[in-house]
Amino acid sequence: MVGAIITPTKIKPTNTNPENRTHRDLWGLWLLSFGSLVAAFPIYSIAVFSLGYDRNQVADIFAVQVTIAYWLGIFAAMLPLPSLKSWSRFERLQVVCLTFLVVSYATHLSWELVWVLFHDNISQARDSLWAYTWWAYIDGGDMRYYQPEANFLMIEILSVINGLIGVSGLILLWRSKFVDFRGTLLCLSTAVTHTVLTWYYYGTEVLTGFESVNTDSFMDLGVKFILLNGPWLVLPWFVLYWGSQLLQKQLSIEGYRQ
């Protein structure tokens, strides 16, 4: 995934310097962003239910960490990291898009999938340690996750389906060393769905006068509702551009083979 471009016959690495092959600085940023995020779920839950910290304050800290982790981790390849100095704009864009897609599909098939399957149980378990992973967002972030209406539940179901489609696309790309255009088309289709669902998610709340979000709180409105979900508002457009460029390269390979 890291540092590869398509040639008329194959994909080859562009960075042949042995010191840069591991891209430790890039992986370090990913570990800092996403690794700490994974560890945060149990840590914050224990802080609230075992150590007695205020749940709303912990939820605010959690939201800030998630937001920073998403934006920093996804755009890490755009930073002036030493091991990436020879990368082209396309290579950087590709890694940004792939990082977003992996993070997005992982979110759909973990946090959202469990919520879709057990939202009734989660709604009734506000004071349970195991449910705080979802209640940390529900508390002030978006009360639509608490006893959701059918249309909102359907948004999350479609997100889970989108994740399954996207994973299939990434598998096709990975197995073919990024020359199978079907994988690109599947990833592009998920970007379109992300755009539609995210605009619907934001738009329905705005049109109803923010019934489910505390607009008096910058943390609840600005961080939890807008910035935390912001990658799904912005990154699909990056994916659409990257996918169109990749598709042209892949189709040129198909023409070369024929």
Do residues 205 and 213 lie in contact, with contact meaning Cβ atoms separated by under 8 Å? yes
Indicate whether 16 pLDDT > 80. no
Residue 6, phi then psi, degrees to nearest 5: -95, 130
Residue 250, domain member (yes or no): yes
Residue 7, domain member (yes or no): no
Residue 176, domain member (yes or no): yes
Indicate whether 176 pLDDT > 50. yes
Do residues 76 and 33 lie in contact, with contact meaning Cβ atoms separated by under 8 Å? yes
Residue 171, domain member (yes or no): yes
Residue 185, domain member (yes or no): yes
Could you give the number of structural domains in the chain? 1
- As a whole number of angstroms, the distance between CA 250 and CA 225 comes to 38
State mean pLDDT over 62-88: 94
pLDDT tier at 6, thresholds 50, 70, 90: very low
Q: Which domain holds residue 163?
A: 15-257
Tens digits of per-residue pLDDT, 227-249? Answer: 999 999 999 999 999 999 999 98
Q: What is the pLDDT of residue 215?
A: 87
Q: What is the pLDDT of residue 220?
A: 86
Residue 6, domain member (yes or no): no
What is this structure's pTM? 0.88
Residue 3, domain member (yes or no): no
Q: What is the pLDDT of residue 10?
A: 43
Tens digits of per-residue pLDDT, 113-160? Answer: 999 999 999 999 999 999 998 998 888 677 889 989 999 999 999 999
Indicate whether 218 pLDDT > 70. yes
Residue 194, domain member (yes or no): yes
